[in-house]
Amino acid sequence: MIHGKSLDEWCTRHPLIKQLVALEQVTWFNPAIAPAAVALADVGLTRADVRDASERLRRFAPYLALVFPDTAALHGIIESGIQPLPHLQQRLAQEADLPAAGALWLKKDSELPVSGSIKARGGIHEVLKHAEDLAVEAGLITLEDNYEVLSGDLARAFFSHYKIAVGSTGNLGLSIGIMSAMLGFQATVHMSSDARQWKKDKLRACGVTVVEYASDYSVAVEQGRLQARDDPACYFVDDENSPHLFLGYAVAAERLVIQFKHAGVIVDADHPLFVYLPCGVGGGPGGVAFGLKLVFGDAVHCIFAEPTHSPCMLLGVHTGLHDQVNVQAFGIDNVTAADGLAVGRPSGFVGRAMQRLVDGYCTVNDEELYRLVFLAHELEQVRLEPSALAGAPGYTRVLGDTAYLQRLGLSAAHLNNATHLIWGTGGSMVPATEFAIYLARGQALQAAHDLATSSPDTAAD
């Protein structure tokens, strides 16, 4: 029994669950979405909170530029670029037998400095928030000071009395661990069994304590929480519930506004924006989507993408059970090659806060992710890890769903004016040997795909 009902009863009541359990690739557009003006109030955080996070990141910029030379080009602002993907767009449209309407773009969080993934937004913001709170309270800095002083021996000795703990599938651990160790904190990362060896090695090389578990992400998080509970000097970064992570992610939106302006990309009621966000526990995509809704309102449509083996946010929102349920309860194993997305239980905070602001959810299988890693590299020369491509199929899932588009009142003219942005959440730090394996796997899957989909006519040519 799952919450008082058998699996059969769940499947009868929610036919989509049957497909999820069968590990099919699905798309679900939530009919219960509401206008931004109404639903933003669900979140419990405001524009002022995002501004506060943004200003904090600005205060730390001189320090970051000093200690992380790869942030110096943007003067200590940790940000990634955008780029059009015309060739991948043509290919995806062709495969789905749809016209390649609008323009497909990539947000390259894979290239974010410090930790090479979207976690360099939220994770670093939360560590900086905690460091700032401690340092201000101790009289080490004021909000008006140049924070470069935090790189000195005095500040590092001060932070060394404090601990930071986090549970992670890898990327959040990298981001929290690297930032914490740089400031001088004693950092512990509780790693789930699916975390890659190179991430553990890198953290240990930075002086971070890595504790490994044979279980999944939820257990790693629980262990981090336990470590901090009985130790007043230990601060726990709560990936399942943290507003500071969420706000760090949300700052991305105001930066995207500037980037779109420079690129000549218009977003308004006649020029809709669709954003495809890979989703693990939900903080990253949730925070980014919150920021996007604040700046673009109803002109932006956010779609979350999850692996077929870990559809936790879709399951939580669709059933209304949120963090009261995990995918394992439905017999789904939560085993996927998509780093960062192998999460069985969604954030209850994000699921509830964002459910009327997120247009839809889609699931993608690992084979498709590898194939897309290969295609994106081959056609656009971009280097993304499998999880970072989870959003790519969203483009044609949206274009192919006439019921959804009609419900939104979007005509062919709107779609021709539309921008579709794949949030490329990670990849640049994947070691070359590992990336070569991804490419080889993707290439083999592409060859099989071409054989399976070529018509007898073309095969005979």
Ligand X SMILES: *Cc1c(COP(=O)(O)O)cnc(C)c1O
CB atoms within 10 A of CB 268: 12
Least gap, CB of 253 to ligand X (angstroms)? 16
280 forms part of the interface with ligand X (CB under 6 A): yes
379 burial level (CB within 10 Å; 0-12, 13-18, 19+): middle
177 forms part of the interface with ligand X (CB under 6 A): no
Q: Which residues contact 445 (CB under 8 A, 6 or more apart)?
A: 367, 370, 371, 374
Closer to ligand X by CB, 150 or 388: give it.
Answer: 388
What is residue 184's three-state secondary structure? Answer: coil
Using CA atoms, how far apart are residues 37 and 20, in angstroms rounded to an integer? 32
Least gap, CB of 167 to ligand X (angstroms)? 11
Using CB under 6 A, which of 282, 307, 391, 442 touches ligand X? 282
CB atoms within 10 A of CB 86: 14
- The continuous run of DSSP H or E covering 90 comes out as helix 86-96
Cα atoms found within 13 Å of the Cα of residue 262, Cβ hemisphere only: 7
Least gap, CB of 174 to ligand X (angstroms)? 9
Residue identified by tokens 């700052």 is 251
387 forms part of the interface with ligand X (CB under 6 A): yes
Using CB under 6 A, which of 388, 398, 399, 429 touches ligand X? 388
285 forms part of the interface with ligand X (CB under 6 A): yes
Least gap, CB of 459 to ligand X (angstroms)? 37
Question: In 1-141, where do the E strands start and end?
Answer: 27-29, 82-84, 103-108
Token pair recorded at residue 52: 């506060």
Using CA atoms, how far apart are residues 167 and 456, in angstroms rounded to an integer? 51
The sign of the CA dihedral 341, 346, 349, 354 is positive
Token pair recorded at residue 148: 């470069």
375 burial level (CB within 10 Å; 0-12, 13-18, 19+): buried
CB atoms within 10 A of CB 62: 17
Closer to ligand X by CB, 339 or 380: give it.
Answer: 339
Q: Of 32-40, 131-139, 266-274, 279-287, which segment contacts ligand X by CB under 6 A? A: 279-287
384 forms part of the interface with ligand X (CB under 6 A): no
Using CB under 6 A, which of 88, 112, 114, 118 touches ligand X? 118
102 forms part of the interface with ligand X (CB under 6 A): no
**Beta-ladder partners of 307:** 364
Closer to ligand X by CB, 389 or 410: give it.
Answer: 389
Q: Of 96-104, 143-151, 282-290, 435-443, which segment contacts ligand X by CB under 6 A? A: 282-290
**Beta-ladder partners of 163:** 186, 234
281 forms part of the interface with ligand X (CB under 6 A): yes
Least gap, CB of 137 to ligand X (angstroms)? 29
284 forms part of the interface with ligand X (CB under 6 A): yes
Least gap, CB of 361 to ligand X (angstroms)? 12
Token pair recorded at residue 120: 């360099």
Least gap, CB of 62 to ligand X (angstroms)? 27
Using CB under 6 A, which of 54, 89, 117, 326 touches ligand X? 117
Using CB under 6 A, which of 27, 71, 115, 171 touches ligand X? 171
Closer to ligand X by CB, 39 or 429: give it.
Answer: 429
Using CB under 6 A, which of 20, 247, 251, 279 touches ligand X? 279
Least gap, CB of 179 to ligand X (angstroms)? 15
389 forms part of the interface with ligand X (CB under 6 A): no
Least gap, CB of 110 to ligand X (angstroms)? 8
Token pair recorded at residue 247: 């706000």
Backbone angles phi, psi at 84, to 5 degrees: -70, 155
362 forms part of the interface with ligand X (CB under 6 A): no
Q: In 3D, which of 82, 98, 99 has the Cα closest to residue 261?
A: 82
Q: By CB under 6 A, how many residues form the interface with ligand X?
A: 20
119 forms part of the interface with ligand X (CB under 6 A): yes
H helix intervals, 194-300: 197-205, 217-229, 243-250, 252-263, 283-296
391 forms part of the interface with ligand X (CB under 6 A): no
Least gap, CB of 19 to ligand X (angstroms)? 22
- The continuous run of DSSP H or E covering 88 comes out as helix 86-96
291 forms part of the interface with ligand X (CB under 6 A): no
Closer to ligand X by CB, 102 or 340: give it.
Answer: 340
Stretch 322-351 residues interacting with ligand X (CB under 6 A): 339-341
Closer to ligand X by CB, 109 or 132: give it.
Answer: 109
H helix intervals, 138-282: 153-159, 171-183, 197-205, 217-229, 243-250, 252-263
Stretch 230-269 residues interacting with ligand X (CB under 6 A): none
Stretch 412-431 residues interacting with ligand X (CB under 6 A): 425-426
Q: What does the binding site for ligand X look like in residue numbers (CB under 6 A)?
A: 117-119, 171-172, 278-285, 339-341, 387-388, 425-426
